Structures are given as C-alpha cells and as structure tokens.
Amino acid sequence: MLEKLQDLVNADAWLVQRGRFVDTRFLLEAGERQHLVAIHAGRIESVTAGPFVMPRWTFALRAPEEAWRRFWLPLPPPGFNDILAMVKSRSLRIEGDPHVLMANLLYFKDVLACLRGKVQ
Amino acid sequence: MSAPANTGAGTAPHFEPVVGRYLHVELLGKPHRLYVEESGQGIPLVCLHTAGSDSRQYRALQNDPEILEHFRVVAFDLPWHGKSSPPAGWHTHEYRLTSADYVATVRGVCAALRLDRPAVMGCSIGGRIVLHLALDHAREFRALIGLQSGAHVDPYYDLQWLHRPDVHGGEVCAGIVSGLIGPAAPAADRWETLWHYMQGGPGVFKGDLYFYKIDGDIRDRVAGIDTQACPLYLLSGEYDYSCQPEDTRALERSIAGAKAVIMPGIGHFPMSENPQGFLAHLRPVLAEILSR
C-alpha cells in the first residue's frame, strides 16, 4: 500500500527541502496493516511493512483502512480530505509525541497527500 | 481583479478601488489604531475576517464592480490582526478574544465610521459574532450574513500547539487550517489564504479561538434570534470540518426565518479561498438585501 511513498516523496525536491529538519520515524496504521516510515532530512529512508513485534516510533496515525482509502481518493469526500478532518470525525487517532508532526504539519500533510490517486 | 499588463512608461498605475486608512477609535476603554479598507458606495457592508487572519480575505468582494455599484464595502482588521495594532500594554498579558469584547469592537467601529444600519457579514468567528449581534443588537443592522456559522465548535486538537516557542507559529497556523480549504479552491487563492495565516502574530489565532471554541458558545440562545428584526443569511462550505454544514443546518432549523445555503466544493474561507465560487452564492443574498 505505502510502497510508492518513498519514491514519490524523494522525487519532489521542494517537498524534501521543506522537510529538511525532519528526522523521525512514524507509524501509519490502516486497520490491521501497519507501516513504519523513517525520514531523514526530509527524505524517506525506508517504508517497512508490519506486523511488528516491538515497533519504535515517535508518533502514530491510526485509522481504519476504509478511512485511508477515502483519504487517498483523487477527490476525497468531505471529512476525509485532511488528517485533521479525520481527527475531528474521530476516524483518525494521533498517538505518541506529535511535536515533529505539528512543527512540520504542512510537510507531513503533503507527504501523505503524495499517495492521493496512487493507491487502491 | 486581474491587473492589466503594465507596459511601462506612459501607462497609468493600476490601482484597485480599495482605499485603506487608519482609524483612531476608543474600544474597551483604550485607544486603538485600526486599519480599515473601503470601496464602493451605497449600503454599508461591513466584512469580518476569520480567526488569525485579516481583511485581505475580502479582496475579491472589495474589487467586484457589480457589488461596488450598490454597496460600500468596509473591511477592517481586528486589533492584533493585519495592520491594526494591539492596544498599548498588549505585552503584559495573553490575548484572548471574548464575546463581549468582539461585539463591542464591531459596534464601536460601526459607530466610529457613522455607518447607518450597516449589513454585517462575518466568517467563522465572524460568522459566530453575527449570531451574537442578531441576538442582542438586531435593530442596529440592516442584515446579517454568517459564513461558516455555527453556534459551537468542539475542540479537535490541542490549541497549545498554536503558540509555543519551539513550533513556528505561522507555519503551524497555516498547517492547522490548510485542510479547511475546499478542493475547488484555485491554487493561487488557496495559498494567498494560507499566507495570511502565516503572517499572524504569536498567539493571536489561539486567542481568537478562545472565543470560537469556549467563550462564544451560544447553542442555548440561538433559537431566540428574531429574523423579523434583522434578516439572517447563512452560507457554509461543504468541505468545512470546523463549522460543518450540519452545524449550519442546525442553526437554520432552530432559527425561524434564517436562510441557509451549503456551497459545494468550498471550505471554511469561501470569500478568500474561492472568491468567484463564493460570489455566485452571495450575489442573490446581496440582491435580496438591496431590494428590501
């Protein structure tokens, strides 16, 4: 599901530049499926598919698979066009320490939006 | 609003019809210096910007020839916002907008400008305050227009993130609101809208949200709005998840005579994120106000 994320983000030089102070690893959970995304200096170093025994991450984004499916539609419906929209509707939970997420919020939103129209 | 190509020597400068000036006015017992923009002539139409932004949000309305023919469009920056200064002594306490202060500011500016029963249009916090005006001061106004109006919004993120020294305030404020813009927004207007948020002073957006999310909750009072005393129009964008279409529909159901329109593809900042899409919905409202 998230395999394309690394190439899509790293091919976007301006997006990488905007994330140049980001060094983190976050968990993206879509229903039963989990991925760890490692970022260094704005570039995605790895996307690792779970399941994991003892995953380490700074923050986690957890939503049902159906919520992410709608989020990644080319034209997402109202309530699924943004991670905060999904937080408001209680379909997305943000866990852990969100400092790096909040300090680079536009960057992370655009990282996630890279997959819009690119995943089934 | 597009500028004709300026070909250089011999070409007159292309100025908008909008004129900005600084108004000195006493508000809440303190002298204030507020930035006010005006264009057009006719019925005064006072425009109130959203939390953490400024009057540039109304740039398209302020330049629309059809509207300017019949309306004197007045947009001012609230204290702390845009080119309005905070009052002296601002550095000694946290900024927090309250319902009472906001009502006093809007009425104070209208009085200082000697506006005769203006129409007032506000978005988000401005959409909320027009409900307060409708409840308590309806006869002072010709019409009230609430954009993204709801009686209450539940907090859905920790407001502390908006004002702390280890997170850039401009970047996080724009990041918080970026998803509130609808998918139909042209890119230039989307990013102009976000730029205004990036320019807000430290803690100002957060201070405005004190009114929006805590102090300004009037769910238990809105049914008392008398639209016979002053008509109330509600226009809300389909993609707004802060004030959701259902919040506006709930207002419409509980206020006899209120008229609501849900605007497809549009989000929380209709006049700024998608000016032409918004104006198509606003024109019939203005025509009705004009014909009254």
Q: What is the CATH number of the domain that holds A92?
A: 3.30.1050.10
Q: Smallest CA–CA separation between B241 and chain A, in Å?
A: 6
pLDDT tens-digit map of A21-77:
999 999 999 999 999 999 999 999 999 999 999 999 999 999 999 999 999 999 999
Whether residue B107 is predicted with pLDDT greater than 80 in this model: the reply is yes
Mean pLDDT of B123-147: 97
pLDDT tens-digit map of A3-24:
899 999 999 999 999 999 999 9
| pLDDT band, very low/low/confident/very high, at B10 (cuts 50, 70, 90) | confident
Closest CA in chain A for residue B169: A103
Burial of residue B46 (number of CB atoms within 10 Å: 0-12, 13-18, 19+): buried
The answer to whether the peptide bond before residue A51 is cis (omega within 30 degrees of 0) is: yes
The CA distances from residue A55 to A28, A50, B6, B36, B108, in Å, are: 11, 9, 60, 55, 58
Predicted local distance difference test score (pLDDT) of residue B8: 60
Residue B167 at interface with chain A, using a CB cutoff of 8 Å: yes
Chains A–B, number of C-beta pairs less than 8 Å apart: 53
Q: Smallest CA–CA separation between A55 and chain B, in Å?
A: 25
Q: Smallest CA–CA separation between B61 and chain A, in Å?
A: 26
Q: Smallest CA–CA separation between A77 and chain B, in Å?
A: 8
The CA distances from residue B249 to A110, B16, B145, B235, B254, in Å, are: 32, 37, 15, 10, 9
- Range in B40-44, B145-149, B212-216 with the lowest mean pLDDT: B212-216
Closest CA in chain B for residue A75: B183
Sketch the domain layout of chain B as residue ranges. Answer: 19-291
CA nearest neighbour of A56 among A99, A26, A23, A22: A26
Q: Which residues of A touch B187 (CB under 8 A)?
A: none
CATH code for the part of the protein at B19-291: 3.40.50.1820
Whether A88 sits inside 8 A of B174 (CB atoms) is: no
> Strands B143-147 and B119-123: what pairing?
parallel
Whether residue B7 is predicted with pLDDT greater than 80 in this model: the reply is no
Which residue range(s) make up the domain with A24? 5-113
pLDDT tens-digit map of B81-100:
999 999 999 999 999 999 99
Mean pLDDT of B200-228: 94
Mean pLDDT of B48-58: 98
CA nearest neighbour of A92 among A100, A102, A81, A105: A81
**What is the DSSP secondary-structure string of A16-54?**
HHHTTT-EEEEEEEETTEEEEEEEETTEEEEEEE---SS
Whether residue B4 is predicted with pLDDT greater than 60 in this model: the reply is no
Angle at CA of residue B237, ends B172 and B105, nearest 5°:
65
| pLDDT band, very low/low/confident/very high, at B215 (cuts 50, 70, 90) | confident
Residue B180 at interface with chain A, using a CB cutoff of 8 Å: yes
| pLDDT band, very low/low/confident/very high, at A120 (cuts 50, 70, 90) | low
Across A19-44, b (16+ Cβ under 10 Å) vs e yields beebebbbbbbbeeebbbbbbeebeb
Give the A-side interface with B, CB within 8 Å: 75-76, 78-79, 81-85, 87-89, 98-99, 102-106, 109
Question: Which has more pLDDT, B77 or B8?
Answer: B77
Predicted local distance difference test score (pLDDT) of residue B3: 53
Name which of B156, B166, B175 is nearest A88 (Cβ-Cβ): B156
Q: Which residues of A touch B247 (CB under 8 A)?
A: none
Mean pLDDT of A104-108: 98
Whether B241 sits inside 8 A of A103 (CB atoms) is: no
CA nearest neighbour of B212 among B53, B26, B28: B53
Residues of chain B with pLDDT > 90, as a percent, come to 92
Whether residue A1 is predicted with pLDDT greater than 90 in this model: the reply is no
Whether B179 sits inside 8 A of A106 (CB atoms) is: no
Whether B179 sits inside 8 A of A76 (CB atoms) is: no
Mean pLDDT of B242-252: 94
Closest CA in chain B for residue A79: B241
pLDDT tens-digit map of B11-34:
899 999 999 999 999 999 999 999
pLDDT tens-digit map of A74-95:
999 999 999 999 999 999 999 9
| pLDDT band, very low/low/confident/very high, at B214 (cuts 50, 70, 90) | confident
- Range in A66-75, B2-11, B98-107, B172-181 with the lowest mean pLDDT: B2-11
Whether A89 sits inside 8 A of B241 (CB atoms) is: yes
Whether B178 sits inside 8 A of A85 (CB atoms) is: no
What does the mean pLDDT of chain B come to?
Answer: 95
Helix (H) / strand (E) containing A84 = helix A83-88
Angle at CA of residue B193, ends B191 and B196, nearest 5°:
110
Whether residue B181 is predicted with pLDDT greater than 70 in this model: the reply is yes
Residues of chain A with pLDDT > 70, as a percent, come to 99
Whether B183 sits inside 8 A of A83 (CB atoms) is: no
A120 is a domain residue: no
Angle at CA of residue B125, ends B120 and B131, nearest 5°:
55
What's the structural domain count of chain A? 1
Q: Which ipTM score applies to this complex? A: 0.96
Predicted local distance difference test score (pLDDT) of residue A3: 87
A119 is a domain residue: no
Sheet holding A93-96, edge to edge: A43-49, A33-40, A23-30, A59-63, A93-96
A92 is a domain residue: yes
